[in-house]
Chains A and B, each alone.
Chain A
Amino acid sequence: MSLAELICPAGTPAALRTAVDAGADAVYCGFQDATNARNFPGLNFTPEELEAAVAYAHARGTKVLLALNTYPPAGKVDLWRHAADTGARIGVDAFIVADMGVADYIARTHPGVRLHLSVQAAASSPEAIRYYVENFGVKRVVLPRILTIPEIRKIRQDIPCEIETFIFGNHGLMVEGRCSLTNYLTGQSTNMDGVCSPASDVEYIRDEATGEMSSCLNGFTIDRFGPEEKAGYPTICKGRYTAPHRPEGYYAFEEPVSLNLSRLLPELIDAGVHAFKIEGRQRSKAYVRSVVSSFRRAVDDIRAGRTANIEDLVALTEGQKQTQGAFETKKWR
């Protein structure tokens, strides 16, 4: 049986301590700049905060993974290199990378630190994964959220590195690291700036006559909600649009659902997944505490051969739409 490590989000120093205390095997975090894919206002760490956080986590046996998983635009590569140098000096346990230039720099400059391949690298075949393993010494791949469990099981047999999969949180279907939707509508790039449908460009506009609420991004109506509906955040790939034969407006890409694989945990462990990632660096401490401690109990039960109480985990997304995404079947494709 795999170790089934629990990899937990740490958007702030307080969230990091919460995740560590709730039983995370590892936490992942980033600096307050474009070097990571959650470059949101109010999130992330200064070098000093990261140093203190690493000391806190290590004292309690928890690993710290530093996300350097964006793509530096030409001329700005030094920002990513300095971030790697700082992380190595502080003693993070692994770097999560996507860009080949960043991976090559770390492999040459900090060969003692583990490299994990970010989901942003979009490596979805054994050959692509082996390219990164053989060239940069990648020790673990974070698989794109587009594979079924039988496909993961098969990949596991064909690659010489560990597998990490997302099990809980935000659920997007665009191939990560290949999406310029936000840059097209707002001028901020997911790949280069670490920004996705940025809050600074969000506006909710109520039509007083109809009571309808529009959620807008940089002036574009991404979705519109009736007076009884709860208005959702205008994430471009979760909006409702019209097409020539869909004049009513429909979720062209994906419904706004959360990923929750708690029911599939035993199968994923059996398939050889080494680590489970909980998404949500933008979430509150209370959320992190509740999700991490619930998954901690479930994973411990499964590892001890007990039946896990999955209902706790299912309840975490109660009242929201949830999905097992790609993992259960390929019919969603």
Chain B
Amino acid sequence: MAVTDMEKLTLGPIAYHWSRDERRDFYARVADEAPVDEVYLGEVICSKRAPFHEADLPATIDRLERAGKTVIVSSLAEVMLARERKATADLAGMDSPEIELNNAAGLFAREKRPHRVGPFLNAYNEATIAWMAGQGATHVTLPVELPREAVNVAAKAARNLGLGVELQVFGRAPLAVSARCYHARAHGRTKDNCQFVCENDPDGMPLSTRDGDPILRVNGIQTQSESYVDLLPEIEEIGAMGVSHLRLMPQAVDMVEVAWAFRDVLDGACSAEEADSRLRAMCGSAGLSNGFYFGTAGYRRIEGAAPAL
């Protein structure tokens, strides 16, 4: 079971409200040093944040493309307000084939022109993926909660249709979105007068149980897992299933080093065990989990080889 040379590493869109300077520095370093093939940009979580970094988008795209990266712009996960509908329609109207849609409003506006299907669009099975391919999808990101038996079937079906197929292999799992902003709520505010309090939590705001167990992270309207998904030990199997793109979600850790851990394994430069122990060291106190992939509670970490499918 060899890792195919077709597998690409991607960097997902920044989920948090990082400042303009932080984003600029982050993407400059990604362009220069991160061994990722494709980078997703754009605000996916909160339409109020978009004005802070929209102006920098063309320069960031240019910077990354000059470094040889493919750049994809992602659309909002939740589309309800006038400004969200407009942002989605504008993005879907772009000539570029490299846009990622995260809401059916985007599919409507895109008509049947080529696009990627993002993780918020619920492509759980081969029937839905076939439907989406018929509507112009060239690429699909599978839901983070899909267990490996289903990933296997979905990935093969997508590849048979000629689609790229992507799975998140690193970073906090997106667990829920809401119309309410939980960051604002925690500070006694509402979404309309939030004063962008989410910018103080570059890796999300931790929520713990009354027993002191950290379990979730709040990121504006989004709820994420406390643990980072880590499928590094599983990427050989994932590649053999036909998954063509492995997604790393930006967290407040050294993402260049995270990308190298995955790249080294893809290149055969080091063993998965060795790279995973590097990853653990980089992630400090953050728990690493793979429960969703193994069909059990997402927060769990299943060790050791699973039986072949």
- Chain A residues in the interface with B (C-beta under 8 A): 71-77, 98-102, 104-105, 121, 123-128, 130-132, 134-135, 144, 146-147, 151, 173-175, 177-181, 183-187, 189, 191-192, 214, 218, 220-224, 237, 239-246, 249-250, 252-254, 326, 330-333
State the total of A-B contacts with C-beta under 8 angstroms: 227
A222 touches B209 (CB 8 A): yes
Complex: A330 Cα to B184 Cα, angstroms: 14
Whole-angstrom distance from the CB of A150 to the nearest CB of chain B?
A: 12
Q: Which residues of A contact B178 (CB under 8 A)?
A: 146, 173-175, 253
Residue of A nearest to B297 (CB): A187
A180 touches B211 (CB 8 A): no
A128 touches B79 (CB 8 A): yes
Complex: A181 Cα to B108 Cα, angstroms: 28
Q: Which residues of B contact A179 (CB under 8 A)?
A: 175-176
Q: Which of B120, B147, B191 contacts A73 (CB 8 A)?
A: B147
Whole-angstrom distance from the CB of A236 to the nearest CB of chain B?
A: 8
B127 touches A184 (CB 8 A): no
Q: Which of B130, B207, B210, B215 contacts A185 (CB 8 A)?
A: B215
Q: Is the interface of A mostly helix, strand, loop or mixed?
A: mixed
Q: Which residues of A contact B296 (CB under 8 A)?
A: 187
B105 touches A104 (CB 8 A): no
Q: Which residues of A contact B191 (CB under 8 A)?
A: 333
Q: Which residues of A contact B211 (CB under 8 A)?
A: 214, 221
- Is residue B16 within 8 Å, beta carbon to beta carbon, of the partner chain? no
Interface residues of B in 281-309 (CB under 8 A from A): 291-292, 295-300
Q: Which of B107, B157, B180 contacts A333 (CB 8 A)?
A: B180
Residue of A nearest to B127 (CB): A101
A175 touches B153 (CB 8 A): no
Q: Which residues of A contact B225 (CB under 8 A)?
A: 184
Q: Which residues of A contact B208 (CB under 8 A)?
A: 241-243
Given A192-B124, A241-B216, A180–B173 Cβ distance below 8 Å? yes
Sample of 8 more A-B contacts, CB < 8 Å, known A183-B297, A189-B145: A73-B147, A124-B179, A146-B80, A180-B144, A184-B173, A184-B175, A184-B299, A241-B208
- Chain B residues in the interface with A (C-beta under 8 A): 77-80, 84-85, 88-89, 103-105, 107-109, 120, 122, 124-132, 135, 143-147, 149-154, 157, 173-182, 185-187, 190-192, 205-213, 215-216, 218, 223, 225, 291-292, 295-300
Given A128-B79, A146-B179, A184–B297 Cβ distance below 8 Å? yes
Complex: A146 Cα to B176 Cα, angstroms: 14
A174 touches B124 (CB 8 A): no
Complex: A130 Cα to B85 Cα, angstroms: 13
Given A183-B145, A192-B124, A173–B177 Cβ distance below 8 Å? no
Given A105-B127, A174-B177, A175-B176, A147–B207 Cβ distance below 8 Å? no
Residue of A nearest to B77 (CB): A178
Whole-angstrom distance from the CB of A163 to the nearest CB of chain B?
A: 15
Whole-angstrom distance from the CB of B122 to the nearest CB of chain A?
A: 6
8 chain-A/chain-B pairs, Cβ below 8 angstroms:
A71-B124, A127-B104, A146-B178, A185-B215, A220-B215, A242-B207, A242-B210, A252-B182
Q: Which residues of B contact A241 (CB under 8 A)?
A: 207-210, 215-216
Complex: A192 Cα to B122 Cα, angstroms: 11
Whole-angstrom distance from the CB of B232 to the nearest CB of chain A?
A: 20
Q: Which residues of B contact A331 (CB under 8 A)?
A: 190, 192
Given A127-B89, A220-B213, A224-B210, A101–B176 Cβ distance below 8 Å? no
Complex: A252 Cα to B215 Cα, angstroms: 13
Q: Which of A99, A180, A243 contacts B206 (CB 8 A)?
A: A243
Whole-angstrom distance from the CB of B22 to the nearest CB of chain A?
A: 20
Complex: A287 Cα to B207 Cα, angstroms: 35
B105 touches A191 (CB 8 A): no
Given A99-B128, A178-B120, A332–B180 Cβ distance below 8 Å? yes
Whole-angstrom distance from the CB of A160 to the nearest CB of chain B?
A: 13
Q: Which residues of A contact B105 (CB under 8 A)?
A: 125, 127-128, 131
B80 touches A124 (CB 8 A): yes
- Give 10 closest A-B pairs by Cβ, nearest first: A101-B127, A101-B128, A146-B179, A74-B154, A184-B298, A74-B153, A127-B105, A73-B150, A128-B104, A131-B108
Q: Which of A71, A180, A183 contacts B125 (CB 8 A)?
A: A71
Whole-angstrom distance from the CB of B13 to the nearest CB of chain A?
A: 16
Whole-angstrom distance from the CB of A57 to the nearest CB of chain B?
A: 30
B131 touches A180 (CB 8 A): no
